[in-house]
Amino acid sequence: PITNNYNQILAYVANISPTGYIVISNNFNINPIIAFSNNCKFDFTNNNKLLDFIKYDIQTRKRELKSLTKSDIIKINNQWNMLTTKESVENISQNYLKYEESYGPFLSTNWHQRFPYNKYCPIDIEQDKQSVVGCVST
């Protein structure tokens, strides 16, 4: 499971064979599928920026539940209903896309913080090491 700083479960990671994963919310008031990949395993190491982002994203979604519209709630309920009934995998994947906008993948590169991606990043003078790769620094 993916947990917050208080060891409370935020989401679950289901591994896909032969490779891949799906991050699934543990809250029925949030969209069920948070993230997925069909070409790599989920990285649970402390330096995984995706893991940090998912934690932040889910906690933010939980804080914003009060601002959901009735239409938003219906869409989320329909997504959960599709995933918790006995429909076939093909029907679920086809129907799920009706309720969510899907973009990409725009890139198939597996990014990291090492060379060559960090080649032109400036040195962080406070930490005395190269700044992390990201939209701002690159």
DSSP run (H or E) holding 81 = helix 70-83
Is 93 or 127 the better-scoring residue by pLDDT?
Answer: 127
Name the percent of the chain lying above pLDDT 70.
77
Q: What is the mean pLDDT of residues 30-51?
A: 86
Q: What is the pLDDT of residue 81?
A: 85
Q: Give the global pTM.
A: 0.62
pLDDT tens profile 10-33: 999 998 888 888 899 999 999 999
Q: How far apart, in whole angstroms, are the C-alpha atoms of residue 130 and residue 89?
A: 45
Residue 22 dihedral angles phi and psi, to the nearest 5°: -135, 130
Predicted confidence (pLDDT) per residue in 53-95, tens digit: 999 999 999 999 999 999 999 999 988 888 877 654 455 555 5
Average pLDDT over residues 130-136: 67
**Are 110 and 102 contacting, i.e. CB atoms less than 8 angstroms apart?**
no
What is the residue extent of each domain of the chain? 2-96, 111-137
pLDDT of residue 28: 92
The reported pLDDT for the residue numbered 45 is 83
| Average pLDDT of the chain, as a whole number | 80
Q: pLDDT grade, residue 135 (50/70/90)?
A: low
* Per-residue pLDDT at 137: 41
Other Cβ atoms closer than 10 A to 65: 13
Across the strands, what pairs with 23? Answer: 13, 35
